[in-house]
Amino acid sequence: MMCTTCGCASDVVTIDGTEPHSHDHAQHHHDHAAPAAGPRTISLEQDVLAKNQLFAERNRGWFAGREVFTVNLMGSPGAGKTSILERTILDLRDRLPVSVLEGDQATTADADRIRATGAAVVQINTGTGCHLDAHMVAHGVEHLKPPRGSLLLIENVGNLVCPAMFDLGEQARVVIVSVTEGDDKPLKYPHMFRAGDMLLVNKMDLRPYVRFDAQRCIDHARRINPGMDVLQVSAETGEGMSAWYDWLVASHARAATTAVQS
């Protein structure tokens, strides 16, 4: 089966090391046959995204009903998503209960790192799939059971393309880019940066050793998405992380207030 957005193949999904099970990929996959050109391809993509949106809305309702503030963290492999999660969990443990869904094609390596912090975590392995979708998240949440009023952080599969297209039912999207990736990423992957609510420019401790203009990267991102919040951080040293925590706590509080009023 192939993803209509990028052609990736994915036949099974594994949740936290359990036995692989057939996944209903109707929401974002089609047959092994090569996709037809023209209107047929467009129709398939629209169908895929429409079905994903149905699952996303169900997730959104579930999160809202339990006041679980959900954040989708997206970025390239190696941007430091897991390192940011580790430090966030440890530093926020006295302010907010945090649980994690980890998305990767294979292994439980990142989930093992998160588990070592003491946080509840479920690993979702997508096989050759290049992104999480709303149905996968629904299955993961069934296993994770995040407590009422908590913070749920979803680490998406490392990829600057497809994750931006798939709504998971989250309340916020965070894009993480590291100084080792180059300051042109917002220009090369505009859909990802257009989709984000927050940009974390990570690994600022390495800034003296690489060719990276942080302000240029930020300017590029804000040209694409003027309303995007931006923080420069280092998961290694803790630089800028307190502002990130404040953003999470404030966003969580706003979401809880909105849920009560509605």
Q: What does the pLDDT read at residue 178? A: 98
Q: What is the pLDDT of residue 40?
A: 60
Position 21 scores a pLDDT of: 41
Residue 24 has a pLDDT of 45
**pLDDT tens sequence across 51-110:** 999 999 999 999 999 999 999 999 999 999 999 999 999 999 999 999 999 999 999 999
Specify the DSSP class assigned to residue 147.
P
Write out residues in the chain with pLDDT < 50, as ranges.
1-2, 17-36
Q: Where are the alpha helices (DSSP H) in the chain?
A: 39-65, 81-92, 109-115, 134-144, 185-188, 190-195, 214-224, 241-261
pLDDT in tens, 35-62: 445 566 557 667 888 999 999 999 999 9
- Which of the 8 DSSP states describes residue 79? S
Predicted pLDDT at 39: 60
The domains of the chain are located at: 2-13+23-261
Interior CA angle at 163 toward 162 and 165, to 5°? Answer: 70
pLDDT of residue 28: 42
- Choose among 68, 138, 123: nearest CA to 97: 68
Number of helices followed by number of strands (H, E) in the chain: 8, 11
Angle between helices 241-261 and 81-92 (to 10 degrees): 70
Cα angle 196-198-199, degrees, rounded to a multiple of 5: 95
C-alpha to C-alpha distance for 158 and 211, rounded to whole angstroms: 22
**Is the CATH number of domain 2-13+23-261 3.40.50.150?**
no
Give the predicted TM-score (pTM) of the model: 0.87
